[in-house]
Amino acid sequence: MTRLEGKTAVITGGGSGIGLGAAQRFVDEGAFVYIFGRRQETLDAAVAQLGSSARAVQGSVTDMADLDRLYETVKAERGGLDILLANAGTGAFAALGEITPEHYDDIFDLNVKGLVFTVQKALPLMATGASIILTGSSTGVMGTPAFSIYSATKAAVRNLARSWALDLRGTGIRVNVMSPGPITTEIALKVLGDEGMSAIGASTVLGRVGEPSETGAVAAFLASDDSSFMTGGEVFVDGGLAQV
């Protein structure tokens, strides 16, 4: 399939996990992809996998100068931007009574503030037909023990998409949320461990965890004209975890 032929995409948190799964699918469907992330060695390995249709830019979505440098690079090399997957994020457990200001700041700064300015700074490069995809989470609509701050950030992402769809009315730019459930990523394994991942996978309706290639397929749908009549929406890729 070449639904994204000739398109230019930016994926934050694109060096591994859900971001890399989407980058691979975008490249396979004809896009040129910029992956953005903090760890240069991870980015280098991802570009080696993705090939000549990918370029890495190192930086953090919490650093405004890094974001400016990312978009200056895209503008200089490609002229504009068709697809943005605002995917960079983090999570950690802390039950009520154990939440610290540092825990709160770390997660909200990356998952919400970083996402807000990732999108806002991209807008001058985007035109009619462009697609913005925000990575949400099934936790945004569920109660999860000791995971309230992360879950709150993902609920915020969901409302940002609703509000931004209205802000973007008349521009032809669409914005939607892709909300994964348990996906086999480095960060999920770090937070949950092998045992925790197995347990949450078993709790889904499909009885397993998902793979980054599966979220990548949904991201490609939202990036393409196949979703041309969708904005302000949310698509769950969670094995039914938050659906029944």
Q: Which residues are catalytic?
A: 150, 154
Distance of CA 114 to the CA centre of its chain: 12
Distance of CA 62 to the CA centre of its chain: 15
In whole angstroms, give the CA distance from residue 131 to residue 176: 8
Q: Dig out the tokens for 172 from the structure.
A: 């032809």
Amino acid at 69: R
In a 3-state reduction of DSSP, which class is residue 210?
Answer: strand
Measured CA distances, 225 to 69, 173, 221, 222, 228 (Å): 29, 12, 8, 8, 5
Please name the residue that has the structure tokens 């892709």: 178
